[in-house]
Amino acid sequence: MPQNTFFKTSLGIIMVLTIVYLLHKISFVFNPLVTLISILIVPVSVSGFLYYLLRPIIRILDRRGLHRIVSVLLIYLVIGLLLTLFFVVVWPPLRNQIQQFIDNVPSLINGLTLQMNEIQKSKYFALINTGNSELTNRITEYTNQLLQMISGYLSHIFSFLSGFFVVVGTVPIVLYYMLKEDGKLSEMVLRFIPSKFRNDGKDVTEEIDNALSGFIAGRIISSFLLGVMSLIGFQIIGLPYPLLLASIGAIFNFIPYFGPLLGAIPCVIVAFTESPSMVVWVIVVVFVAQQIEGNLIAPYIYGKTINIHPLTTVVLILIAGEVGGILGMLLAIPLYMMAKIIVIRIYRIFLAKRVEDFVD
C-alpha cells in the first residue's frame, strides 16, 4: 500500500496541509519578517527599476574604460542635476496644480452636476432615455465619489513626504551597490544551486535578467514619452491641470491593459466639467498618444519582451490590485515573468529526466 501512487499523493497533500496549518498557528513568528518586507519592498522595487534603466549606461562607460565606481558617481551627479532641475522647474507648477485640484473639487462637482443636467435636458438624451430617472443621478454620484477619491489620493502626497524621505535615503545606497556589483548577484545565487543544475540556473538567471531589463526599461521610457505627448496635447486643447493629469496617465501606463484606461478616467472627468466638446478633444489626445506609444514607441523599445497571454495579464492585474493595491499592480507582471521562467525551466528539467528514465 505505501507504494501505491494514490496513497503517496494523498499523504503528500496531507503533509502540505499540515505544514500550512502549523505555519498559520505560529504566524506571529513571521510578523517581523512581514514588517521588514513591507518596509523594504518600495525602496528595493524603485532601486530595481532604476538599476535596469541605468545599467546600459554603466556598461557603455565600462567599455570606454571608465572605472565602475567613477561611472556610478558620474551617473549620480547627472541624476542630482536632473532632480534639481525637476524641483526648480517641474515641481512648483505640479504642486500648485495638485493643490488647486484639491481646493476646486467642490466646484468640479458642481460643474459636473450642471453638465449632467444640461445633457439630461437635451433632445439627444431623450432619444436614449429608457425611463430610468435615476440614471443621471447615479452617474453623477459615482463620478463625484471618484473625484473625491482622486482628491484624497492627491492630498496624501503631502503626508507621504516622510515615507518619501525614507525611500530617498535608502534607494541611492541600494542602487549604488546594485550598479557597482553588477553581475555578481547572479553568481551568488548560483552558489546555492547544486552543481549538476548550475548551467540551467545560469540560463534561468540570464533569461530573467533579459526579460526584466527589456520590460522595465521599456516601460519607464515609453511611459515618460506618453506623459510628454499627453502634456503637449492637453496644453494645446486648454485642459485644466495638464501637468497633473499627464503625470497621472504616465504613472498608470506602467500597468498593462488597465493602466491607460485608469489614467484616462481623471482626464475625461475634468474635461466633462468644462464642456462635452472638451471631452471629445481629450479622448482624441489620449487615443492618439496611446496609439503612438503602443504601436510605435513601445515595440521599438522592448519588442516582444512581454510574452504573456492578455487574459493572464488581466487576471494577474485584478488579483494583484486586490492584494497589493497600485504597488501590487505595478509589480505583478515582473514577478510573474520571473516565476514563469523558473517554473518552465524546472518543468523541462524534470520532464526530460522522466523521458530519459522511460527510454532507458
Domain range annotation of the chain: 41-182, 194-354
Considering only CA atoms, which of 256, 315, 324 is closest in space to residue 45? 324
Q: How many helices (H) and strands (E) does the chain have?
A: 15, 0
Give 16: exposed, middle or buried? Use CB within 10 Å, 0-12, 13-18, 19+.
Answer: exposed
Task: In whole angstroms, give the CA distance from residue 83 to residue 250.
Answer: 18
The C-alpha cell that represents 136 in the structure block? 443621471
Considering only CA atoms, which of 77, 58, 41 is closest in space to residue 177? 58
Q: Is 256 helix (H, G, I), strand (E, B) or coil?
A: coil
pLDDT value at residue 292? 85
The C-alpha cell that represents 96 in the structure block? 500648485
- With a cut of 50, which residues of the chain have pLDDT below it? 158-159, 161
Is the separation of the CB atoms in 174 and 43 below 8 Å?
Answer: yes
Task: In whole angstroms, give the CA distance from residue 338 to residue 204.
Answer: 9
Considering only CA atoms, which of 217, 224, 212 is closest in space to residue 293? 224
The span from the first CA to the last CA of the chain, in angstroms, equals: 26
pLDDT value at residue 232? 93
pLDDT value at residue 241? 86
pTM of the model: 0.69
Is the separation of the CB atoms in 167 and 43 below 8 Å?
Answer: yes
The C-alpha cell that represents 305 in the structure block? 519582451
Amino acid in position 324:
G
pLDDT value at residue 178? 85
Is the separation of the CB atoms in 337 and 215 below 8 Å?
Answer: yes
Q: Is 204 helix (H, G, I), strand (E, B) or coil?
A: helix
